[in-house]
Structure 1
Amino acid sequence: MAGPPDPGDVDEAVFDVVERIPPGRVSTYGAIGRLVGIGPRRVARALSAGGAAVPWYRVVRADGTCAEPVRVEQLGLLATEGVPVRGGRVDLAVVAWP
C-alpha cells in the first residue's frame, strides 16, 4: 500500500517542471500543479522553500500578478527576458507556458 508522496519528491517534481519553462515565457502555480498532480499552494511552498536554483520568477499567479514579497525582483527578472507586463500583470495570453 502506497503512502503519501515524499515531500522532497514533490518539490523535485515542481523544480523539474519549472526548469523546463523557456526564457521569455511564464507559467502559473496552477498550471505547474496540474502537471505535477498537486495544488497551486503546494507549488508555491516548494518554490519558496527551495526554488532558488530554478527560474522561480517564471511562475506567477493565475491573474498574472506576482507575490508581493518578491514582486519587484520578479518583475525585474521577467523584464530582462522581454516578458510583457501591463499594469503590474504579466500578459499570460501572450507568454503562457505550457
Structure 2
Amino acid sequence: MRTEYVEAVLDLVALIPAGAAVAYGDVAELLGSGGPRQVGSVMSHHGSGVPWWRVLKSSGDAPPGHEREALELYLAEGTPLLGNYTDYRRTGEGRWRVDLAAGRWAPTDAEFDRIDVIAERLDRQLHRLSVPDDEMTV
C-alpha cells in the first residue's frame, strides 16, 4: 500500500473527536480514494498511533480482537452504544456495538477544510506517482 495513502488515512482519523465514530467506508469517501478494505488494512497495520477505536465496520462492531479495549475507550469517551455492554464488560457475554446513527462523526466546516487539504494532497501525490516521468513537467 502506498505510503501517501497510509498517511492520509491516519491524518484523517486523527481528526475524529472523542465520542464520535465512523465506518471504514466513511474514511474512504471523505478522502475520495480507496474503499473500506483499504482503510481497514491501513488501520490494521498502521493505526496504533491514532484513535483506531473510532473507525469500525458499518455495523458498528468494534475492530475484531479489540472489543474489550475498545469498549472501555467508548465508555470513557461517551460514545453512543447499543446492546448489552454491561454484561459483556462484567462477564464477556452479550453483544453490543457502537450506535453509528447517533455517534457518526459530522465534521464541522473547519474540519471539512482540513479533510479537503488531506484529500487534495493525497490526490496530487497519487496523480504525480501515476504519471510517467517523461510526462511530468518541472
Q: What TM-score results when the alignment is normalised by the length of structure 1?
A: 0.88
Q: Deviations over 1:38-90 (max 9, x none)?
A: 11011011011111111011011101111321111112111110112112111
Instruction: Write the distance in 2 (CA, Å) between the matches of 1:15 and 1:59.
Output: 11
Q: Does the alignment pair 1:48 with 2:51?
A: no
Secondary structure of 1:69's match? Answer: coil
The size of the alignment, in residue pairs, is 93
Q: Higher Cα Rg: structure 1 or 2? A: 2
Q: Which runs of 5+ in 2 are unaligned?
A: 84-95, 107-138
Secondary structure of 2:9's match? Answer: helix
- Please name the residue that 1:93 is paired with: 101
- Please name the residue that 1:39 is paired with: 35
Give the conservation status (yes or no) of the 8 Å contact 2:53–2:63. no
Q: Which runs of 5+ in 1 are unaligned?
A: 1-5
Q: Deviations over 1:2-61 (max 9, x none)?
A: xxxx61110001001101101111111010011121110110110111111110110111
Give the conservation status (yes or no) of the 8 Å contact 2:22–2:56. yes
**Structure with the bigger percentage of helix:** 2
- Please name the residue that 1:30 is paired with: 25
Instruction: Write the distance in 2 (CA, Å) between the matches of 1:22 and 1:75.
Output: 16
- The 5 Å alignment of 1:75-86 reads 75-86=71-82
Q: Runs of at least 4 residues of structure 1 off by over 3 A? A: none
Q: What TM-score results when the alignment is normalised by the length of structure 2?
A: 0.64
- Please name the residue that 1:7 is paired with: 2
